[in-house]
């Protein structure tokens, strides 16, 4: 690996670790309210990332754009993948989210999800790897391409 690839890989691992930590912390706050009344798009991204499917449904029902972009120009479906949030991911898929979006790194969502899966240790990351494997399967079934 070149130095550039090693640096990118290290940053990806740091981000993945941060996402896993946020996911674990989010599961410890089951009654949290993920609502930012001033920015429903930000609320949708937060609910998608933190795996709050009821809040995702509520926001979509209230008219929040399914494909709204965050400050990184990502959609809520990408936020759900980043958070390993399978239930919110499923809600967004059923609502018709675009499975062929590009991430802020220029990867297809399917490629980004596969990279997250591959970056996790098969033993210690088994549960989260399974979430990503389920997402990969669902993305392919919905027509996602690399």
Model pLDDT, residue 8? 62
How far, in Å, CA of 97 to CA of 91, rounded?
9
Q: What is the pTM of this model?
A: 0.75
Residue pLDDT, tens place only, 14-56 = 776 666 556 555 544 444 444 455 789 999 999 999 999 999 9
Looking at the chain, the number of H-run helices and the number of E-run strands are 7, 0
Tokens of 82: 């980043």
Within a domain: residue 20? yes
**Spatial CB neighbours of 118, under 8 Å, sequence gap ≥ 6:** none
Q: Which CATH number is 135's domain given?
A: 1.25.40.20
DSSP 106: S
Query: How many domains does one find in the chain?
Result: 1
Within a domain: residue 97? yes
- The answer to whether 97 and 76 are in contact (CB under 8 A) is yes
Within a domain: residue 146? no
Within a domain: residue 54? yes
Within a domain: residue 125? yes
Residue pLDDT, tens place only, 81-94 = 999 999 999 999 99
Within a domain: residue 38? yes
Residue pLDDT, tens place only, 111-136 = 999 999 999 998 888 999 999 999 99
Within a domain: residue 115? yes
Model pLDDT, residue 32? 44
Q: 12: domain range?
A: 3-141
């Amino acid at each position: 690996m070149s130095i550039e690839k090693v640096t990118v890989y290290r940053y990806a691992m740091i981000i993945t670790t941060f996402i896993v930590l946020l996911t674990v912390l989010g599961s410890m706050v089951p009654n949290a309210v993920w609502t930012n009344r001033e920015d429903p798009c930000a609320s949708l991204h937060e609910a998608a990332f933190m795996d709050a499917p009821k809040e995702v449904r509520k926001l979509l029902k209230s008219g929040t754009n399914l494909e709204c972009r965050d400050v990184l120009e990502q959609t809520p479906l990408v936020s759900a993948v980043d958070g390993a949030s399978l239930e919110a991911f499923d809600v967004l898929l059923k609502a018709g989210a675009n499975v062929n979006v590009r991430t802020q790194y220029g990867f297809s969502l399917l490629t980004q999800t596969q990279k997250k899966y591959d970056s996790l240790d098969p033993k210690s990351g088994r549960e989260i790897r399974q979430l990503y494997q389920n997402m990969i399967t669902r993305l392919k079934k919905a027509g996602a391409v690399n």
